[in-house]
Amino acid sequence: MTIQMEPTDQELWSATVAGDEVLFARLFDRYARTVYNHAFRLTGSWSLAEDVTQSAFLVAWRRRADARLVDGSMLPWLLVITTNTARSESRSARRWLALLRRMPPERGTDGDLAQEVAGRVDDERRMRTILAAVRRLPRAEREAVALCLWSRVPYADAAVALGISEASVRSRVSRARARLAVHRVDNTVEDQ
């Protein structure tokens, strides 16, 4: 009896570039949870994170010929796509929420929320506080925080994904930590 080894990202991606949707679905299964968590950390909203995750994988499929594997892994490239997608989705969500706020409230809804919904609301409230501080950071530092602290991408891999040196990534993370410490969210950022 032979044991089948799980295909590498390189093998899956080579087939994906050739148009193999089934093997792309295996990459989705492999990284969807990590991408989703990264999207939540960027948006502070579980529902928006779902949209960002779906959009990020759609962009990855469309741009599959442009992919950059980092040490044989698709994850850093997917996280950069997710970051860019979150930026776009966030702008759209703000416009949508502004429209919804102008609508009259629904009648006949009761205030009894399920425990899971209450937990999500608390998560989103905490994440909004963290995001408020992180959004004050320069864009380069925000990207380094999102990749290295939130998604725990190694500095070397983040450097390749961002197209800069590892020393620059380390410097950006260090500066971000110092700025966040002033707002007392530096440890909280890493826990999210």
pLDDT tens for each residue of 85-115: 988 876 775 677 676 667 665 554 454 445 6
Phi, psi of 70 (to 5 degrees): -115, 115
On whether the pTM is more than 0.95, the answer is no
Cβ burial, residue 102 (10 Å; 0-12/13-18/19+): exposed
Domains of the chain: 7-100 (1.10.1740.10), 138-192 (1.10.10)
pLDDT tens for each residue of 64-83: 998 888 899 999 999 999 99
Grade residue 117 by pLDDT with cuts at 50, 70 and 90.
Answer: low
Q: Which residue has the tokens 């380390």?
A: 170
- Supply the pLDDT for residue 48: 84
